[in-house]
Structure 1
Amino acid sequence: MIRKTHRRGPRHAGARTFAPPLSRVSATLLTLGLVCAGSVQAQSLETQAAAGKAAPTESTVINLINLLVKRGVITQANANDLIREAQEETAQVKAASATRAPAGAAVVNAPTQPGDVAVPYVPQVVRDQIRDQVKQEVVAQAKAENWALPNTFPDWVSRFTLDGDLRVRDEYRLFGARNANNVTNFMAMNQGGGFDVNSNTNSVQAPTLNTTGNRNNLERFRARLGVTAQLSEQLKAGIGLASGNDNGPVSTTATAGGGFSKKNIWLNKAFFSYQPTPWLNVLAGRFDNPFFSSDLLFSNDLEMDGLAARFERTLPSNRDVTLFGTLGLFPIQYTVDNFPSNSVQKVGGDTKWMLGAQFGAKWKIDEHNTVKGAIAYYDFQNLRGTLSSPCALYAGVTSCSTDNEAPTFMQGGNTLLALRNIVQNPNLAPGATPEPQLFGLAYNYRLLDLKGQWDTVVANRLKLRLDGEYVRNLAYNEDKAFSAASLPVNNYDSTSINATRNDYRSGPNGYFAKVTLGEPEPNSKGQWNFSLGYKYLQPDATLDALNDPDFHLGGTNARGYILSAAYAVARDTWLSARYLSAREIYGPPESIDVLQLELNARF
C-alpha cells in the first residue's frame, strides 16, 4: 500500500495539495520510488491473488498512470495504451483469482483511510519507461554540472581556486562653503627631500589639501583577482592582483580618465596558509586583515605584511560558543640599509613594527540571536620621530640622521614634529639659511580596541545587525610630546605650521556605531540592506595612514555619519549607495561630504 500524504494549509476547494515543487529529475526520482514501492506491493498482491486470497483494484492503476501523464513523464497516447493493457491484465488476474478464492474474500492491505492507495500491479513497460526517463535526465544534469566526467581535466587543475571582484563607482566630493583653504599637506611636504619652511628663503606656498573645489562625477573602479593553490592537505599558497592609482596601502581603487591610458596592476597578495589542525591557521606573506575590526582602524582594502596565527574553536561543553583569536607580527617600514649614502658612517635604525593580539568569542544565543565580541591590543613600535643630530645642509650634506623616520605614507590628522635639526650657515645673516624640513609622528601608538557585533531578527523576519567599536591610544601623552626637542605640529593653527601649547588640540579616543537592517552582505537576487553609522575619531586615536580613505577623505580628526543602502540584482551582484558626511573635530573648518554610487560583483 502507498499512502499519499497531503500538506496541511490553505488550498483551493476540491483540490489536493502535494509537496512543494521539485526539480524535474528529483520529481521523476520521487515518482519512481512510489511506483517501485507500489510494484513490490502489486507483486505481493498478485501472488496472493494467484493463491486465491485477493483480487486487484483496476482504478488504482488508472489513477497512477493519469498522475504520470500529469507530471509529464509519459504522453497521453502512451497512457491510453497502458490503461488498456492494465485493464486486460487485471481481468486475467481476476479470472484466475475467481477460480481459487472463496466467495466474499477481502482484498489484503485494502485502503483503510482517506489518502491510502492500493497498487496491485504496475506493468513492466511502465517501469522500463520510467527507468529510461530518469537515466536520461540524470545523465543530462551530470554533464551540465560537470560531474559526469571527473577525469576530463588533469589533477593539478582541481587544486587551483580563482576568486575576485569588480566594482564601478560614480563618486562626488562636496566641500563646505566655509572650509579653510590653507590646510597643510604634510605628506606632500615630505616628498622631494623636504620643503623649505623658512619664509625668508622660500616664498612658495606650502603644499595644501583641496578643501574647497568640488569634484563631480569622478568615475572610479576596482578590480581584484586571486588564485589559491592547494599544495597539500594542510598547506595553501595564494597570489592576488589589484588595481590602484598608486602603491598606497588603503585603497585599490583606480580613477578613470587619463586620456584612456592603461591602468596599473599591483601585487596585492602573496601568502602561504598552513592549517595543521582544523582550529588553527598560520599565515605568512601578504594577506587579508586577520583581525575582527572595522574601518575605524583598518581600511577594508588593507592587506597586511608579516606573520599571523589565527585560531577558532567551538567549546566541547557548549557547541553554541566559539572562541577565536589572532596573534600577529607585521613589519611596517624598514630603514634604509645604506643610510646616509654619502657618508662613511651609517646610521642604521630600528624597524617599525606592529604587534597585534586579539581574543574574542561568538555566542549563538538562539536561532535568531548571535553576539560576537573581541578585545585587541595593537602596539606600533618605533613610529615616533626624533629630532636629528645637528645637520649642516649648507655644507653639502644631503640628508640628516633621522630622515628615515619620516612615514612612507600619511593621510592626515596625526600630530607631527620636525625631524631635522638644521644648522644655520654662519656665512649668512641670521634667518637667511634655507630649512628644507621633513616631518615624523609625534606619538607612538599603542591601541586598546574593543569590538562588538549583535545579529538578531526583527518582527520574526527582518535581520538586524548592531556594530560598535571603541579605540584608545594608550601612548598618548601631551606633556611628553611638548617636552621633546622638537615641538609638535598639526592643523589646528591655520596661520602657522608650528602650533603653541595653548593652540594645540588633539585626543586619543575614537568610536564607531552602526545599525544595519536587512541582509548584511547581499549575495542572492532580491536581498537588500539599509544602514546608518556614526564615527568619531580624534587626531591621535589611531594611525591615520591605515584607516578608511573615504570618510573625510581619509585619516583622523573627523566626525560624522554614514548612510548606505544595497540591493542584490543577481547572484553576488549588487547596487549600492553611500553618503558620508564628515567634518573636523579640532582646527579650521573642513567639512567634506562624499557620495558613492556603485555596481559590485563578486566571483
Structure 2
Amino acid sequence: MNQTTNKRGRVGYGADAALRRSRISRGIALLVLGMSCAGLTQAQSIATQNAMAKTAGEGAPATESTVINLIHLLVKRGVLTEKNAEDLIAEAQAEAAQAKHAQAQAVSAAPNAAVVNAPTQPGDVAVPYVPQVVRDQIRDQVKQEVVAQAKAENWAQPNTFPDWVSRLTFSGDMRVRDEFEFFSPRNVTGVTNFAAINAGSPYDINPNTSTSLPPTLNTTHDRDNVLSVRARLGVTAVISDQITAGIQLASGDNDGPTSTTNTLGADFARANIWLNQAYLKYAPVPWLSITGGRFDNPFFSSDLVFSNDLEFDGVAANFKRLLPGRDDITLFGTLGAFPIQYSSDSFLAQNPDVPGGTIRWMLGGQFGAEWKINDENKLKGAIAYYDFMNLRGSLSAPCALYLGATSCSTDNDAPASMQKGNTLIALRDVIQNPALAPGLTPDPQYFGLAYNFRLFDAKLEWDTKLADRYKLRLDGEYVRNLAYNANSALSAASLPVNNYNSTSSTVTTGDYQSGANGYMFKATIGEPNTLEKGQWNFSLTYKYLQPDAVLDALNDPDFNLGGTNAKGYILGVQYAVANNAWLQARYLSAREVYGAPLSIDVLQLEMNARF
C-alpha cells in the first residue's frame, strides 16, 4: 500500500482510500435512489387522493433535505470529500426535481384519472403505493450494508483518533551534500586554531617552556568528496487559539551554533541528534506574538551576521500589521533578549574576584516595513541594533598557577564558540615562579575577544521582474560594529595576538590590522524559493567582512569555511526536480581582507527535500 500522512498526522492509504470513498459514494447513491423513489411513489399516491390540497411548487420533498443533511454529515465526519458530496447533492436534487414533476403530472391528471401510476413504457411495473414501513426497511437495509462494509474493510471512521492528534503538525527536511575544499598553494601555514585551545586545555605560549606546537588550521591541503547530511524533524502543537508549542530535533557533528551538518565517513558510526528547537509561542492578538525557549532567528537578516542554521535561545516579541489607512504597506519589528553564556557555579566559587558580569547577553531590536508597490514590485527593508553584552575579554588578576591554582579570574571570558577572524587577546596574567630562572615559568593561556560587539545593521530586499517574465530579487545588507576601536585594543594591558600583517615571529603594533565594516550584495534571477517542480534560479553574491565587523562565532560557516576577515563571491544555481525537492550547486570563493594570504574556495553539490 502507498501510505500517506497528512499535516494533521492522520493516516490514509493512497489508492485504497480512493476506493473506499468510491464505495461510500455508491452506497450513498443507492440510499439516495431508494429514498427518492420511495418519495416519488408516495407523492404520486398522495397527489391522486388529495389533488386539490397541494400544488407542485410547495418545496422540496422531505427526502431531499434528509439526504442532503446526511451527505453534509458524512463530509463533516471525514467520510466523503467535498467533491463527492457535491456530486451526490446534485444527484439528490435531480431525483427530487423528477419527483416534483411526477407530482405535478399526478395532480393535473387526478380529476380524470382512471389508473394510478399507469406504466409509461413497455415492461414498466406500476406501483400504486409504497407504505412507510417498506420505505423505512429500504433505508435501514442500505444503511446497514454500507456501515457493515466500512467496518469489514476498515474504512476511515469518525472519532478514530483522539482530539489532540488533530492539533499536531509534523514537518522536516533533508539534505545530502558533496563538498570540495580548495586551498591556494600561496596560503600561509601555521594558523593557530584558537577555538580548539579554548575548547580544551590552555596552551603554553612561552617558547622557553612549551613542549608542543599549538593546534593549527588546515590551509594548504585540498579536500575532495566530503559527504555530509543534514536532517531535521519537528512537531508543532496547537495548545489553544493563542498558544502553540514546537519541538525540533536535528543532526550535527557537535553542539556548535552555526551548523546542523553531520559529516559522513566516520567508520559508519551513528550520527548525533540534538535538540534544535523547543519553544512556546503566545499570540494575544493576530498581529503580535511572544516566543520563549529555543527557536528560529526572529530577525530579518542574512548569513552575513547570523548563520542560516542558527537558533536563538531566549525571548522575542514580533509584531506585523498593516500601516493604518494603507493596504500596501506592512510594518514589522522584533525585540528580544538572548542569553549567550553563563559562568558556572564552580568557577565563581573558585574565583571570587571575577570582574564584570557573569552572564553574556545579546539584546536585539529591529524595525522595518514591506511595501507592495504593485503586482510586480515589492520592497522590504529594516534597520536593527544588536548589543552583545560582556563579551570582551579582560586580563585576569595576578594568577599564581605555580601555587596550585587551577584557573584564573577571567578564564570564563574565553568564548564557548568560535570560528576564526575576530581579534583576540590572552586572558591570564600569570605570576612568575620565583624558584625558577626568569623566563622559565610556563604561561598556559586561554584567549578572549579584544572588542565588544554593538552592531548596527541595515538590510534591503527588492523583488521585481525582468521583461515582465523573470523574477529578480536584489538583496543588500550593511553592518558596522560600533564598539570597534583599534586604539583601545592596542593600549590594553593584553595586546592582540592575531590579525597582524606579518608572518614574522616578532611583530609590532604597527603590523596590526582590523576593521568594523561588512556588507553583502546578492542578485537572484528566477524563483527565490524553488519549491514547485520545474522552478529554478541563478544567484550571484559578493561579501566583504572585516575581522571585527560581526561576531565570528555566529555567521555563515561555509563562506571562507566560517568566520570573518574574508571577501569574495558566491555563484549558485537551483532546480526543483519535484515539489519540495530541489538540486543545488554553489561555488564560494574567498580570500583574506587583511593579514597573511589565505584563499579558500568551496564547491557544494547537494540534494534537498522538505515535507
TM-score (norm 1): 0.76
1:442 paired to 2:450: yes
1:215-241 Cα deviation digits (max 9, x unpaired): 100000000111111111111111111
**Shift in Å, 1:285:** 0.6
How far apart in 2 are the matches of 1:341 and 1:180? 42
**Paired residues of 1:335 and 1:349 also in contact (CA < 8 A):** no
Question: Could you tell me which amino acid in structure 2 is paired with residue 172 of structure 1?
Answer: F
1:367 paired to 2:360: no
**Paired residues of 2:453 and 2:550 also in contact (CA < 8 A):** yes
Paired residues for 1:567-586 under 5 Å = 567-586=575-594
How far apart in 2 are the matches of 1:35 and 1:397? 90
User: Compared with structure 1, are the counterparts of its residues 165 and 582 closer, same or farther at alpha carbon in structure 2 (3 Å cutoff)?
Assistant: same
1:289 paired to 2:297: yes
**Paired residues of 1:489 and 1:499 also in contact (CA < 8 A):** no
In structure 1, the partner of 2:395 is: 387
1:204 paired to 2:204: no
In structure 1, the partner of 2:266 is: 258
1:522 paired to 2:530: yes
How far apart in 2 are the matches of 1:32 and 1:343? 80
In structure 2, the partner of 1:376 is: 384
3-state SS of 1:479 partner: helix
**Shift in Å, 1:492:** 2.6
1:405 paired to 2:413: yes
In structure 2, the partner of 1:351 is: 359
Question: Could you tell me which amino acid in structure 1 is paired with residue 330 of structure 2?
Answer: T
In structure 1, the partner of 2:6 is: none
In structure 1, the partner of 2:234 is: 226
For structure 1, list consecutive stretches of 5 or more residues without a partner in the other structure: 1-23, 52-84, 87-138, 140-145
**Paired residues of 1:195 and 1:206 also in contact (CA < 8 A):** yes
**Shift in Å, 1:302:** 0.2
1:357-414 Cα deviation digits (max 9, x unpaired): 0000001110111110000000011100111111111121111111111100110100
How far apart in 1 are the matches of 2:347 and 2:356? 7
In structure 1, the partner of 2:42 is: none
In structure 1, the partner of 2:246 is: 238
**Shift in Å, 1:40:** 7.5
In structure 2, the partner of 1:561 is: 569
1:177-203 Cα deviation digits (max 9, x unpaired): 211112111112223331001111114
In structure 1, the partner of 2:473 is: 465
1:215 paired to 2:223: yes
How far apart in 1 are the matches of 2:524 and 2:602? 20
How far apart in 2 are the matches of 1:374 and 1:345? 42
Q: In structure 2, which of residues 311, 326, 332 is the aligned counterpart of residue 303 of structure 1?
A: 311
**Shift in Å, 1:30:** 8.8
**Paired residues of 1:537 and 1:556 also in contact (CA < 8 A):** yes
1:490-548 Cα deviation digits (max 9, x unpaired): 23345367852210111100001101111111111111111111000000000000000
In structure 1, the partner of 2:551 is: 543
For structure 2, list consecutive stretches of 5 or more residues without a partner in the other structure: 1-80, 109-119, 122-146, 148-153
**Shift in Å, 1:161:** 1.1
Q: In structure 2, which of residues 442, 451, 461 is the aligned counterpart of residue 453 of structure 1?
A: 461
3-state SS of 2:420 partner: coil
In structure 1, the partner of 2:37 is: none
Identity score, percent: 64
User: Compared with structure 1, are the counterparts of its residues 393 and 458 closer, same or farther at alpha carbon in structure 2 (3 Å cutoff)?
Assistant: same
Q: In structure 1, which of residues 513, 520, 526 is the aligned counterpart of residue 521 of structure 2?
A: 513
In structure 1, the partner of 2:601 is: 593
3-state SS of 1:525 partner: coil
1:312 paired to 2:320: yes
1:5-44 Cα deviation digits (max 9, x unpaired): xxxxxxxxxxxxxxxxxxx996996999799899989x99
How far apart in 1 are the matches of 2:87 and 2:249? 48
In structure 1, the partner of 2:489 is: 481
Paired residues for 1:405-444 under 5 Å = 405-444=413-452
3-state SS of 2:327 partner: strand
Question: Could you tell me which amino acid in structure 1 is paired with residue 394 of structure 2?
Answer: T
3-state SS of 1:193 partner: coil
How far apart in 2 are the matches of 1:553 and 1:261? 24
**Paired residues of 2:303 and 2:556 also in contact (CA < 8 A):** yes
**Paired residues of 2:399 and 2:405 also in contact (CA < 8 A):** yes
3-state SS of 2:347 partner: coil
Question: Could you tell me which amino acid in structure 2 is paired with residue 463 of structure 1?
Answer: K
**Paired residues of 1:171 and 1:594 also in contact (CA < 8 A):** yes
1:151 paired to 2:159: yes
3-state SS of 1:319 partner: coil
3-state SS of 2:393 partner: coil
**Paired residues of 1:336 and 1:348 also in contact (CA < 8 A):** no
How far apart in 1 are the matches of 2:291 and 2:158? 32
1:324 paired to 2:359: no
**Shift in Å, 1:344:** 7.3
Question: Could you tell me which amino acid in structure 1 is paired with residue 490 of structure 2?
Answer: F
User: Compared with structure 1, are the counterparts of its residues 390 and 497 closer, same or farther at alpha carbon in structure 2 (3 Å cutoff)?
Assistant: farther
User: Compared with structure 1, are the counterparts of its residues 28 and 309 closer, same or farther at alpha carbon in structure 2 (3 Å cutoff)?
Assistant: closer
**Paired residues of 1:581 and 1:592 also in contact (CA < 8 A):** yes
3-state SS of 1:502 partner: helix
3-state SS of 2:489 partner: helix
In structure 2, the partner of 1:280 is: 288
Question: Could you tell me which amino acid in structure 2 is paired with residue 500 of structure 1?
Answer: T
How far apart in 2 are the matches of 1:268 and 1:591? 32
How far apart in 1 are the matches of 2:262 and 2:88? 56
Question: Could you tell me which amino acid in structure 1 is paired with residue 393 of structure 2?
Answer: G
Paired residues for 1:152-191 under 5 Å = 152-191=160-199
User: Compared with structure 1, are the counterparts of its residues 344 and 491 closer, same or farther at alpha carbon in structure 2 (3 Å cutoff)?
Assistant: closer
In structure 1, the partner of 2:257 is: 249
**Paired residues of 1:353 and 1:382 also in contact (CA < 8 A):** yes
How far apart in 2 are the matches of 1:147 and 1:524? 32
**Paired residues of 2:171 and 2:233 also in contact (CA < 8 A):** yes
How far apart in 2 are the matches of 1:327 and 1:153? 40
TM-score (norm 2): 0.75
